[in-house]
């Protein structure tokens, strides 16, 4: 697992960039600290050639910009329900894109995404064995994405593509 | 000529995006129906004529895969082209979806152009909504 961390981090970063640029028309800047004000969290669990959970923490400002850009509506038209829906879809798409980059041929299933309001990013969880944390800033607010990989069963002869 | 479209996705935001892409793409839409899962989609199909379905896979209740099974087993519905739009785009999953009768697979995240191009290919029309394989005579007739 430790040997794979750099690859996981690179592929997860690419998946996040792709998702935010294509779906939300937002450009993120990687940062090396947890952003402030990330009090919304969506998550999805994955099971297949690899198992674990992906969590996306984001600020309300960023979530509002995501909804506004995705739906081409004014920020005044952004509702809590739209923010929840959008945050869930972000976790879902980032996770799918990450897993496909890891192994295009490997099959997997995603759970229905969940959403909750939290008191900022959980700093008690430190990066290490089985966990990757990547943080970003943007013009609209911060983002933190964490991937918890509990089991990795690479197929014989298959590496990241 | 216009076409009735059914968009099936549990995310209302994603349905709205796909609806918008279709509307700005120049595709001639008659009615645009929306469903949050396969069950709702099948209920809509019982009551309405639909020319093309754009569907997610992973949805609560009746999933996109279950819906494809229902469509395949129904003589009236089995020929409706289905475009699957999903995050679950492994080679194995795409093979499974296509074997159940889907015409195309689009991975999320997608660009608007991806949906527009595939929609036109699947429905078999050009940018003016004309069937591509119809050879029109100089006087505008079909024969």
Chain segment A8-34, per-residue pLDDT in tens: 999 999 999 999 999 999 999 999 998
Cis amide leading into B109 (omega within 30): yes
Rounded to the nearest angstrom, the minimum Cα separation between B27 and chain A is 19
**Touching check for A88 and chain B: CB below 8 Å?**
yes
Look at the block and give the residue holding tokens 């009551």.
B47
Q: Are B67 and B50 in contact (CB under 8 A)?
A: no
At B32, is the pLDDT very low, low, confident or very high (cuts 50, 70, 90)?
Answer: very high
Asked if pLDDT for residue A133 goes beyond 90, the answer is: yes
Q: Say whether residue A115 is in contact with chain B using an 8 A CB cutoff.
A: no
- Distance of alpha carbon A146 from alpha carbon A9, whole angstroms: 10
Contact present, B100 and B73 (Cβ < 8 Å) = no
Contacts of B87 in chain A (CB under 8 A): 92-93, 95-97, 110
Q: Which two tokens stand for residue A69?
A: 């850009």
A142 pLDDT more than 80: yes
Position B82 pLDDT exceeds 60: yes
Helix axes A80-102, A60-71, angle to 10 degrees: 80
Of A96, A78, A86, A82, residue with least CA distance to A58: A86
- The confidence score (pLDDT) of residue B49 equals 96
Cross-chain Cβ contact A72/B14 below 8 Å: no
Residues in chain A within 8 Å Cβ distance of B110:
22
pLDDT of residue A135: 96
pLDDT band for B1, please (50, 70, 90 cuts). Answer: confident
Cβ contacts of A92 on chain B, cutoff 8 Å = 11, 58, 87, 108
Residue A158 has pLDDT above 60, yes or no: no
What mean pLDDT is predicted for residues B28-55?
96
CA-CA distance, A123 to B109, in Å (whole number)?
Answer: 29
């Amino acid at each position: 697992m430790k040997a794979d961390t750099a690859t996981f981090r690179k592929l997860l970063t690419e998946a996040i960039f792709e998702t935010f640029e294509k779906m939300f028309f937002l450009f993120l800047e990687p940062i090396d600290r947890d952003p402030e004000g990330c009090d919304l969290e969506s998550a999805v669990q994955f099971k297949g050639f690899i198992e674990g959970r992906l969590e996306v923490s984001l600020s309300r400002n960023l979530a509002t910009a995501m909804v506004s850009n995705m739906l081409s509506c004014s920020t005044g038209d952004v509702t809590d329900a739209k923010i929840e829906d959008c945050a869930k879809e972000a976790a879902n798409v980032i996770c799918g894109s990450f897993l496909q980059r890891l192994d295009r041929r490997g099959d997997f299933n995603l759970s229905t995404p969940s959403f909750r309001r939290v008191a900022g990013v959980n700093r008690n969880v430190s990066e290490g064995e089985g966990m990757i944390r990547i943080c970003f800033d943007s013009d609209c607010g911060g983002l933190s994405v964490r991937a918890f990989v509990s089991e990795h069963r690479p197929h014989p002869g298959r590496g990241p593509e | 000529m216009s076409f009735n479209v059914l968009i099936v996705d549990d995310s209302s935001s994603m349905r709205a995006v796909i609806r918008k892409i279709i509307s700005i793409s120049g595709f001639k839409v008659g009615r645009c129906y929306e469903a949050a899962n396969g069950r709702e989609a099948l209920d809509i199909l019982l009551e309405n004529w639909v020319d093309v379905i754009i569907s997610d896979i992973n949805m609560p209740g009746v999933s996109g895969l279950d819906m494809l099974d229902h469509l395949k087993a129904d003589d009236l519905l089995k020929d409706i082209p289905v475009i699957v739009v999903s995050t679950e785009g492994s080679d194995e999953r795409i093979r499974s979806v296509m074997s159940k009768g889907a015409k195309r697979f689009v991975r999320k995240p997608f660009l608007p152009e991806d949906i527009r191009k595939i929609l036109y290919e699947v429905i078999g029309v050009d940018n003016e909504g004309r069937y591509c394989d119809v050879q029109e005579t100089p006087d505008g007739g079909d024969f």
